[in-house]
Each structure stands twice: as structure tokens, then as C-alpha cells.
Amino acid sequence: MMSIDLSRLSAKQLAALIKNAKKQQTLVAERAPIAKVRTQLTRAAKAQGYSIEELFGASATAGPGRPAGAAKPGPRAGRKLGKVPPKYRNPANAQETWTGRGKQPRWLAELTAAGKKVEDFLISKVGGVKKATAKKASARKAVTKRATRKSKAG
């Protein structure tokens, strides 16, 4: 909340401040509650075949709190957020993947709404290389290298 040092204001300045504050108070009191306006906007968008998210973005459904233009709070100081490999792949379009972090992508949400399970789209099931297989292959290479070195040395 804003604090004003009233002791430094003249009588004229105090009167102007009170007048402006009363005017602002009247404007705020006459406004419809946020929930009511949100409901009206949602209904109007739905009547035209849209959702609030389509019109204003995902932050529009977050509710009151941080203003729309305000920056999101960043990661904690000193904490690095690394890039994560994707865990899920769209079988219809291999370019569409999801790491499993954050909001589900539309393609996955639509498929799960149609009765599919998220696990059905794991990259290891869809056609990617399984991690265990990759580890075994690299272990085999290491064994082969060691055997080659021993045979050359002996």
C-alpha cells in the first residue's frame, strides 16, 4: 500500500487529496466484482465459439493476482534449470514432443481426452531408443575397447 506523509501537505493539498480519493473510491465501488465480469466475458466468448484462453492466453484464467503484463518470478537465485530431453512423442507427428514438465500440449490433452493413457506416448514405447538399450550398447563398446587394448598389449 502507498503511504503519503500527510504532515508535509498544506490544507489545500489535503483537500485536493481527499477529493481525489473520494472520486476514486466511488469509481471502485461502482465497478462490478471481478468474478462477475469474468463470468460475463467467458459467456460472451463461448457464445462466439471461443474460450478465454484462446482470446487472452493461459494467464487469463489464472484469476486475480499478478497483473497481466507483470513479469513472472524467475527461478531461485543460483538454481540452474537444465534442458530436459522429451519423454513423450505424438505418434501422428514425430516433431511434437513433451518433456513431461509444465502444461500438457494440446495434442496430448486431446488424445488423453479421447481415452488414451499418457504412458502410451512414452518415447520408449512409440519408437525411440530405450535408455537401458543405449546403456547396454555403450557398456558393450567399453568392453570391446578394453579387450582390444589387452590383445594389442599382449
Work out the pLDDT band at 6, boundaries 50, 70, 90: confident
Contact between residue 88 and residue 118 where contact means Cβ atoms under 8 Å apart: yes
* Residue 133: predicted pLDDT: 53
* Residue 61: predicted pLDDT: 61
Joined grid coordinates for residue 78? 543460483
Angle, alpha carbons 98-101-106 (nearest 5°): 50
Contact between residue 138 and residue 120 where contact means Cβ atoms under 8 Å apart: no
Burial track 95-111 (b if 16+ CB lie within 10 A, e otherwise):
ebbbeeeeeeeebbeeb
* Nearest CA-CA partner of 120 in 87, 83, 86: 87
* Residue 68: predicted pLDDT: 54
d(CA 105, CA 12): 59
- pLDDT, one tens digit per residue, over 103-146 is 999 999 999 999 999 998 998 865 544 444 555 666 666 666 66
Of residues 62 and 99, which shows the higher confidence score? 99
Tell me: pLDDT of 25 over 90.
yes
Joined grid coordinates for residue 24? 476514486
* Residue 129: predicted pLDDT: 47
